[in-house]
Amino acid sequence: MKPPVLVIDDDAAVLESCETILEDAGYDITVASTPESGLECLHRKSFDLALVDFKLPGMNGLEVLERAAKVDPDLVLIIFTGYGTIESAVEAMKRGAFNYITKPFTGSQLVAVVERGLEQRNRRREIYPTLQNLKQCCPLHEIIGQSEALESVLATVAKVALSDANVLVTGASGTGKELAARAIHANSPRAERPFVAVDCAALPSNLLESELFGHEKGAFTGAEQAKRGLLEMANGGTVFFDEIGEMNAEMQAKLLRVLQERTFRRLGGEKLVSVDIRIICSTNRDLEVEAREGRFRQDLLFRLNVVTITLPPLRERSSDLALLVEHFIQKFARAANKGRVQISPDAMELLEQYPWPGNVRELRNVVEHAVVLCEGSAIRVRDLPERIQQQAKLPRPVSTGVGYKQARAEWVDVQGKEYLASLLERHRGNVSAAAREAQISRKSFYELMRRFELDSHSLHS
């Protein structure tokens, strides 16, 4: 049975071209020259996919998209757009469109985008039952909690997983950005294909280019044989760019071209390599500010920021703390063959008082530390890291004449400074080693040192 496809466009030449190309490709095509007649077709007949022009007389593509989704929530929608309205097409994807295709287009481009849309619809039907209960997918990725802030994030993860839209995951270091990216991939139509993570902060630009695109034999000194890059390895799957804000301008331009063309060349190569990948990026920077100040390409941001998911810091998920502690205790107790381990009330009280500047990642490390050091089946105050124990000894900063949020922010700064100072002291002023333990980049660590006016030399002298 031929898949039924609807095309809505007020340009007769476009309608005729789509009808010819898609019928030859084996689709059952219905065309409509006005948004009203297109919506009437949806009421009369069931379609698998609809191609809709963004600029229509009397009704733009966003309105058609919203009305069509009400008629058939499972309908895959693809937007036609001109070169000057790509930003509007990105907005359409934020509202539920699967993809967009820029005019003028070739027959192969049209068929390819329709095929991807229909494949997404078919695979969505297969995996939809697994997304009915968010709680089923969360433990798999250690996204643990029941707070309102986390539930909002998980609802967005479940929705965006069903699309092929690029996603930007924002949040402070340690909030679980890569876990969110993996959850999106694992519940997407690409779940059976590779998930490839790229650490933009850890790789220097010359190495990053070779890692992404691969190289041919002899491309540079030491290239004794050809090598596939990460983009090729991820074909059909998802590429996760961790801390995309650390990528330099040259690599940003090359990544933008890949996103536009879906092709690239290996270093030293002439042959174009085609890839079908979904992009998920993370950052702890404000990329809109970075773009305004010229440090990040605005056009690349438009491509990456189709859907934004912002992960809350742990201090805004206080109701999740006990669940996370229990989860990590069980995990590390099993690994250490310690049987059942519990945490004492006074130790738990200290964890609840601590502001967690390092977020869930810091909590994970603290619990692992405690499980390893505890004797018997109970974690006590003495088993916690020194900085946590100091919580009971530190005076509480009480500001008068300010609101709760400001007072809490002041306390977070006090604890953040104490945390960084203890790391620097333990590593005798070695910023690289301290940054590794904090699991943030050296650049981020130095920025925090400047903020808190910390001197690595004076701390260990």
| pLDDT of 458 over the 60 cut | no
Report the pLDDT value the prediction gives residue 394, as an integer from 0 to 100: 54
Q: What is the DSSP string of 230-265?
A: HHHHTTTSEEEEETGGGS-HHHHHHHHHHHHHSEEE
**Average pLDDT in the 33-42 region?**
93
| pLDDT of 51 over the 60 cut | yes
- Of the given ranges (7-21, 219-233, 338-352), which has the lowest mean pLDDT? 219-233
Q: What proportion of the chain, given as a percentage, has pLDDT over 70? A: 89
**Average pLDDT in the 291-311 region?**
92
> Each residue of 241-266: pLDDT tens digit?
999 999 999 999 999 999 988 899 98
Taking a C-beta distance cutoff of 8 angstroms, is the pair 67, 83 a contact? no
Higher pLDDT, 362 or 92: 362
In 317-443, DSSP assigns E strands to 342-343, 378-379
**Average pLDDT in the 303-314 region?**
91
**Average pLDDT in the 377-386 region?**
91
Residue 431: which pLDDT band, with cuts at 50, 70 and 90?
confident
Architecture of the CATH domain 4-128: 3-Layer(aba) Sandwich (3.40)
Average pLDDT, rounded, for the chain? 84
Higher pLDDT, 238 or 1: 238
Higher pLDDT, 90 or 20: 20
Q: What is the C-alpha to C-alpha distance for residues 427 and 114, in angstroms, rounded to an integer?
A: 56
Distances (CA, A) of 29 to 15, 40, 66, 114: 10, 15, 22, 12
Give the distance from CA 214 to its chain's centroid.
24
Give the distance from CA 106 to its chain's centroid.
31
Q: What proportion of the chain, given as a percentage, has pLDDT over 90? A: 38
Higher pLDDT, 56 or 22: 22
Distances (CA, A) of 411 to 50, 113, 387: 54, 52, 14
**Domain residues of the chain, as ranges?**
4-128, 142-310, 314-392, 404-460
Q: Which CATH number does the domain 314-392 belong to among 1.10.8.60, 1.10.3720.10, 3.30.70.260, 3.30.1280.10?
A: 1.10.8.60
**Average pLDDT in the 330-334 region?**
91
| pLDDT of 136 over the 70 cut | no
Taking a C-beta distance cutoff of 8 angstroms, is the pair 281, 168 a contact? yes
Q: What is the C-alpha to C-alpha distance for residues 198 and 194, in angstroms, rounded to an integer?
A: 13
Taking a C-beta distance cutoff of 8 angstroms, is the pair 247, 212 a contact? no
Residue 124: which pLDDT band, with cuts at 50, 70 and 90?
low
Q: What is the C-alpha to C-alpha distance for residues 206 and 304, in angstroms, rounded to an integer?
A: 22
Residue 129: which pLDDT band, with cuts at 50, 70 and 90?
very low
Per the listing, tokens 């509202």 go with: 95
- The pair of structure tokens assigned to 123 is 């695979």
| pLDDT of 128 over the 50 cut | no
Q: Is residue 104 reached through a cis peptide bond, with omega within 30 degrees of 0 on the bond before it?
A: yes
Same fold, 4-128 and 142-310: yes
Higher pLDDT, 280 or 432: 280
> Each residue of 433-443: pLDDT tens digit?
888 888 788 88
Report the pLDDT value the prediction gives residue 154, as an integer from 0 to 100: 84
Q: What is the pTM of this model?
A: 0.61
Report the pLDDT value the prediction gives residue 457, as an integer from 0 to 100: 57
**Average pLDDT in the 281-305 region?**
92
Measure CA of the first residue to CA of the last residue in the chain; give whole Å. 78
The class (CATH top level) of 142-310 is: alpha beta
Residue 138: which pLDDT band, with cuts at 50, 70 and 90?
very low
Burial 5-19 (b: 16+ CB within 10 A, else e): bbbbbeeeebbebbb
Report the pLDDT value the prediction gives residue 127, as an integer from 0 to 100: 46
Residue 444: which pLDDT band, with cuts at 50, 70 and 90?
confident
> Each residue of 174-217: pLDDT tens digit?
898 999 999 899 888 898 899 999 999 888 877 888 889 988 88
Q: What is the DSSP letter of 398?
A: -
Q: What is the C-alpha to C-alpha distance for residues 78 and 363, in angstroms, rounded to an integer?
A: 43
Report the pLDDT value the prediction gives residue 123, as an integer from 0 to 100: 65
> Each residue of 390-424: pLDDT tens digit?
866 555 554 556 676 677 677 777 778 878 887 88
